[in-house]
Structure 1
Amino acid sequence: MSGPGAGRGPAAARTAPRSGEDHGVEGDRLFIVFLVVAVVVLAARALSGRLRLPDAILLVLLGMGAGFVPGLPAVVAPPDLVLMGFLPPLVYHAAFFTAPREARADAVPIVTLAFGLTTVTTGAVAATVHALLPGLGWAAALAFGAAVAPTDAVAATAVLQRLGAPARLVTILEGESLINDGVALTIFGLAIEAIGVGFAPAHGAVRLVQVVLGGVAYGLVLGVVIRRIRRRIQDPISQVIVSLVTPYAAFVPAENFGASGVLATVVAGFSIGTHGEGVLQPASRLAGDTFWRILTFLLESALFVLLGLEIREIIRQPGGHTWHEVLLTTLAVSAVVIGVRLAWELGNGPLAGLLPGGRRSQEGLGWRQRLVIGLGGMRGAISLAIALSLPAAVGPDRGVLVLLTALVVLITLVGQAPLLPPLLRGLGLIESDKRRLEVMTARRAGLQAALTKLDELADDEQVDDQTAEAFRQMLELRLERVRYLMDEEEAGTEAPPPNSRRVRAELVRAQRAKLTALYRKGRIGAGTLRQISRELDFEDPVVIRRSRS
């Protein structure tokens, strides 16, 4: 990280340290930034549960507010650090956990939003900002348009899933958010290239083909290679390390060879995540899922804090523009991104009908569902990362473009997300019990299949009667619990009942107390204590309730 922005800060802040004192100052600055990120993360997590707001909204507000705390150092994140450090894992995580069957079923709505709407939004925003900010070139305007065009489905899907909205709406928003990142960043990269040399349609067309085809081809090849490597790895920690290296192995070489690093990362992540060989093995799955959830949350949090620390410097002198121009442009761009999306979603039926399978794909997507999808297009971490990666070649307007992006993200998150709960209730789109019943139905089918297999093994004398009976009792107990929960759910009551949760909690607490006593007496070691404690974690009512929601 460097000191104050180019052209305003001391030269020593932008050059290599020349003494131990310089190293100490830089280390102090990094420590303070790390501490601020940690405080923002903890505050956002604590408040999100109490206020019942998505983490993304609180991260935006707290991250921007952190930039105005007196005494904090001025920090400007190097564009290459943001582009190479933050984007690959964020994009890869979204691609890896995409639901393939659901995405294929809604391919037409996803494609029309991700390609058509993203391109139209980029052009509309570019025309708006070019008209309102005198002196801003078309290339920089298109780069800014590409920054605010992609949606971030995190806040919207958090609200939809918590309320029990139709799963199809979540799938469409997540699929669109995954693909439009690649579309927007491809346009962004071409616009940045054009800043120095100007637009040449023929050259631009050739570069577009090179960027897209090169990125897709490299992503496919890398996906095959990584799947073969991971198939041979049994160690959970090694699996997690390979999964962390993969997005950078996709992004960096593709960018260096003139292809799209984002498309390569998306294709590799989707390829690895949708094949059985690429999914983390049972021993690694829990650790990998926890690792990636924490990593993506920390990266998004760090982006908001870095943005807040930069905004303080930008606000002092917003690229030579007046605050009247900045506020007018912010409102105009926000109106464009929201209005264009609503108009597109409510009126793109004829366009979708022209695509293969388009008419069938529109079944079940009435105006109510389309209105929710239209209002679910908030901007978030990806837009911030793209804006922060704007190079110095953009000129003095770079600061105001970063500021505009932050304000648009703030307006769309804080302005749109709170509207979703009353909208879903008013439109009658809440299906709160459907997911829980689906989960329990799947568990019942799995347990019944296990009992059938156990009978087959016993009949073939591959297992002795005593062992078979022990497993049969365990499976039947689990099956009986699932049937009980399903009966409670279908009866319209909350399952499990509060008394059942209290009893389970007391039983888990008693086992933990006994384990602690055994450890203190020297009867068991620390390893045994941790192992059984982890097993008891899965019996905790809080964990069970969260897994069902």
Structure 2
Amino acid sequence: MGDHPFVAILAFGIALLVPGVLSKRLNVPGPILLVPFGALVGLLPAMRGLHVQPEVVLNVFLPPLIYRAAFLTAPRESRQDAIPITVLAVGLTTATALCVMVAAGLAVPGLPWAAALALGAAIAPTDPVAATSVLQRVGAPRRLVTILEGESLLNDGVALTLFGLALSGLSGPVTVADGVVELLRVVCGGILYGLALAWVIGKVRRVFHDPGSQITLSLLTPFLAYLPAEQLHVSGVLATIVTGFTLGISPQGVLQPASRLTGQVFWRVLSHLLESTLFVLLGVQVMDVFHEVRDRPWTQLALTAVVIVAVVIVLRLAWTTLVLAPVRAGRPIERRQRVVLGWAGMRGAITLAIALSIPLDAPNRALLIFLAACVVLVTLGGQATTLAPLLRRLGVGEPEEEVQEEAMAREAILEAALARLDDLAADDRVDDRTAEVFRQLFELRLDRVREVLGETEGGEGETAPESHHKGLRKELVRAQREKLQHLYRKGVIGADTMRRLDHELDVEERRRVSGGA
């Protein structure tokens, strides 16, 4: 970082903070501004000589990003749409990587197939963060969000497996038979290791009870999944995905209710920092990338970038509108929704992480990073900013039954709490006065839910009884949580509704632990 590390750290921090403020005011995706701010920071003398080693990107940035995505996956919804998710995550990702490999090989004379495949593997996986945030903001069907998130989770594993094969090709000749055998070994080994680690973490978590230790364990988990798996020469990505998914569908998870609120904030901030840092690092290295590709004619660079971007966008639109058309998974995906899925294929942090992890001695490394950055910026700048108008133009909105789902879930868990309260009062475990106080509170919330079905926030402005009734409040929270999990298992509500209401119960549980504050 040169001779002025303080200046470098300060400039880097500004590059992380300012674009976030400007993006909200300009209503554009933050990454679009992070890259140019990073480029400006890269011009500072204090930032000269800053180079990110490929192994740092793979070993530090990827594990927590992949783990969090896997942990938050909706299992039942993903299972219901397993066919379209697989068609996109496996079929489209593989097709994209191969088509980009061919296009890059034709556009860049002398580019080895392994280097071209590395570029294809970097560009192939989508990043659903920008797309899903737009979809949720405009009230798009939750099914589209589920498909995009499920696709992004699986295509990370597919792309990074292809990237591993490309790296093997860069280091030595690889036959088709050797590649197939190696692929099977890497995939199966990663899955088995991930399942074993999830079982171990599930046992170990019972030892820790304080929030700090639990959050520390949750932070260590993705690295315990990724790094040892890579040392065993199996897929660290698949191991991380399997570990995160297995713990995510477990009722206990890694964090206990009293720690989940703090843990959620911690992971949200950590993911934001990691993703933002990747974009800024790309911007910092832009000048170096330009310097290394300056000998190439700018017309050739522009044409190559246009070809690669066109292949990525056109192939996805064709795949979602044509290949997904005959897919039947419960109910068919409407043509309008398939168009939205096609236009929602933005690239982001994972693409940058893979591109920046291309070995330093790889042929045309700077050119490959340049092309990957072009795809990221064009898809974020063009598709993310036009997705909301496209949704409105196509009339793709959230069905009424999904809007009412949350209110019906609230009604069910409040009725479960009242039933549990009646049982406790009947057994003389709660005195009549205390029972009546809680009964009035929950009946008030229930009346509001029934009055404005789907429009209430469930008890804002209400205050639960004081801390000397902590034991009763714990029983009522437990009854509501059990009812909520029952509704999800039976398919009455979706994962988003369950997590939103479970979060409110965590708040109630935290209030109990903190003495009613």
Mean CA deviation greater in 294-303 or 196-205: 196-205
Structure-2 separation of matches of 1:256 and 1:441: 49
Q: TM-score, normalised by structure 2?
A: 0.85
- Partners of 2:29 and 2:380 within 8 A in 1: no
Q: Following the alignment from structure 2 to structure 1, what is the Cα–Cα distance between the partners of residues 324 and 418?
A: 48
Partner AA of 1:228 in structure 2: K
Listed one character per residue, the Cα deviations across residues 67-118 of structure 1 (whole Å, up to 9, x for unaligned) are 4567643421011111101000000010001011111111001001000000
* 1:59 has 2:31 as partner: no
* Aligned partners of 1:444 and 1:483 also within 8 Å: yes
CA deviations over 1:258-304 (Å, ceiling 9, x no partner) = 11110110011101111112252110111111000000000011101
Residue 58 of structure 2 is aligned to residue 90 of structure 1: no
Aligned match of 2:473? none
2:204 matched to which residue of 1? 229
Deviations 1:106-134 (CA, angstroms, capped at 9, x unpaired): 10010010000000000000111111112
Deviation string, structure 1 residues 434-491 (Cα, Å, up to 9, x no partner): 665333332222111101110111112222212212221222233234344438x4xx
Matches within 5 A, 1:518-529: none
Q: Which residue of 1 aligns with 2:86?
A: 111
Distance 2:245 2:329 in 1: 25
How much does 1:64 deviate? 4.5
User: What is the aligned counterpart of 1:427 among 386, 389, 394?
Assistant: 394
Indicate the structure (1 or 2) with the bigger Cα radius of gyration. 1
Tell me if the contact between 1:96 and 1:272 (Cα under 8 Å) persists in the aligned partners: yes
Matched, 1:382 2:350: yes
- Give yes or no for the alignment of 1:206 onto 2:181: yes
The letter for the 1-side match of 2:334 is G
**What corresponds to 2:366 in structure 1?**
399
Kept in 1, the 8 Å contact 2:125–2:159? The answer is yes
Q: Is the contact between residue 29 and residue 385 of structure 2 (CA under 8 Å) also seen in structure 1?
A: no
SS at match of 2:316: helix
2:328 aligns to what?
Answer: 359
Q: Distance in 1 between matches of 2:169 and 2:252?
A: 41
Q: Conserved in 1, the CA contact under 8 Å of 2:63 and 2:226?
A: yes
Q: Which amino acid aligns with 1:377?
A: G
Distance in 2 (alpha carbons) for counterparts of 1:67 and 1:160: 34
How big is each residue's C-alpha offset from its partner over 1:482-537, in whole Å with a ceiling of 9 and x where there is no partner? 344438x4xxxxx68xxx99xx6xx99xxxxxxxxxxxxxxxxxxxxxxxxxx9xx
Render the CA deviation track for 1:214-250: whole Å, top value 9, x for unaligned: 1111111111111111234221111110110011111
- Structure 2 residue 323 is matched with structure 1 residue 348: yes
CA drift of 1:364 comes to 3.8
Q: How does 1:242-321 map to 2 (within 5 A)?
A: 242-318=217-293, 320-321=295-296
Deviations 1:168-223 (A, max 9, x none): 00000010001100100010011101112123222211111111111111111111
Compared with structure 1, are the counterparts of its residues 270 and 402 closer, same or farther at alpha carbon in structure 2 (3 Å cutoff)? same
Percent identical across equivalent pairs? 51
The 1:226/1:134 distance shift into structure 2, 3 A limit, reads same
State the match for 1:216 in structure 2.
Answer: 191
Q: 2:110 matched to 1:135?
A: yes
Give the Cα–Cα distance (whole angstroms) in 2 for the partners of residues 117 and 319 of structure 1.
Answer: 33
Deviation at residue 321 of structure 1 after TM alignment: 2.6
Superposition deviation, residue 432 in structure 1: 8.4
In the aligned structure 2, how far is the partner of 1:227 from the partner of 1:433?
Answer: 38
Q: Which residue of 2 aligns with 1:9?
A: none
- Residue 511 of structure 2 corresponds to which residue in structure 1? none
CA distance in 1, matches of 2:39, 2:398: 35
Counterparts of 1:156 and 1:186, CA distance in 2: 24
* Partner Cα separation in structure 1 for residue 184 and residue 69 of structure 2: 24
Residue in structure 2 matched with residue 412 of structure 1 by the alignment: 379
**Deviation by residue 1:119-151 (Cα, 9 ceiling, x = unmatched):** 000000011111111221000100111000000
| Number of residue-to-residue matches in the alignment | 465
What pairs up with 1:500-511 in 2 under 5 angstroms? Answer: none
> 1:413: Cα distance to partner?
0.6
Q: Which residue of 1 aligns with 2:213?
A: 238
Runs (5+) with no aligned partner, structure 2: 464-503, 509-517
Q: Which moved more, 1:467-476 or 1:147-156?
A: 467-476
- State which drifts further: 453-462 or 177-186: 453-462
- Aligned to 1:259, what secondary structure does the other structure show? coil
- 1:160 deviation in Å? 0.4
Aligned residue in 1 for 2:500: none
1:532 corresponds to: none
Instruction: Determine the C-alpha separation between the residues in 1 that align with 2:74 and 2:40.
Output: 36
From 134, 158, 175, give the equivalent of 1:183: 158
Structure 1 gap ranges (5+):
4-24, 490-494, 509-534, 540-549
For the 8 Å contact 1:163–1:432, the answer to whether it is kept is: no
Amino acid of the structure 1 residue aligned with 2:200? V
Structure 1 CA distance for aligned equivalents of residues 120 and 324 of structure 2: 25
Counterpart-to-counterpart distance in 1, 2:270 and 2:337: 32
Instruction: Find the aligned partners of 1:124 and 1:186 in 2 and give their Cα distance.
Output: 17
- Matched to 1:383, the amino acid is T
- 1:486 match: secondary structure: coil
> How far apart are the structure 2 equivalents of 1:60 and 1:314?
13
Decide which of 371, 374, 382 is 2:339's aligned counterpart: 371
Contact 2:35 2:282 in 1 (8 A): no
Give the TM-score normalised by structure 1. Answer: 0.80
Alignment match, 1:448: 415
Residue 40 of structure 1: how far off its partner (Å): 2.9
Amino acid at match of 2:373: A
Given residue 385 of structure 1, which amino acid in structure 2 is its aligned partner?
A
| Contact 2:132–2:148 (8 Å) recurs in 1 | yes
Contact 1:91–1:262 under 8 Å retained in 2: yes
- Give the residue type in structure 2 aligned to 1:94: A
Contact conserved, 1:88 with 1:262, CA < 8 A, in 2?
yes
Q: Is the 8 A contact 1:230 1:277 kept in 2?
A: no
- Mapped to 2, the partners of 1:319 and 1:277 lie a distance apart of 54
Task: Provide the C-alpha distance between the structure 2 equivalents of 1:308 and 1:122, rounded to a whole number of angstroms.
Answer: 24
Shift of the 304–360 alpha-carbon distance from structure 1 to 2, 3 Å rule, reads closer
Give 1:359 deviation, angstroms.
Answer: 2.5
TM alignment of 1:141-152, pairs within 5 A: 141-152=116-127
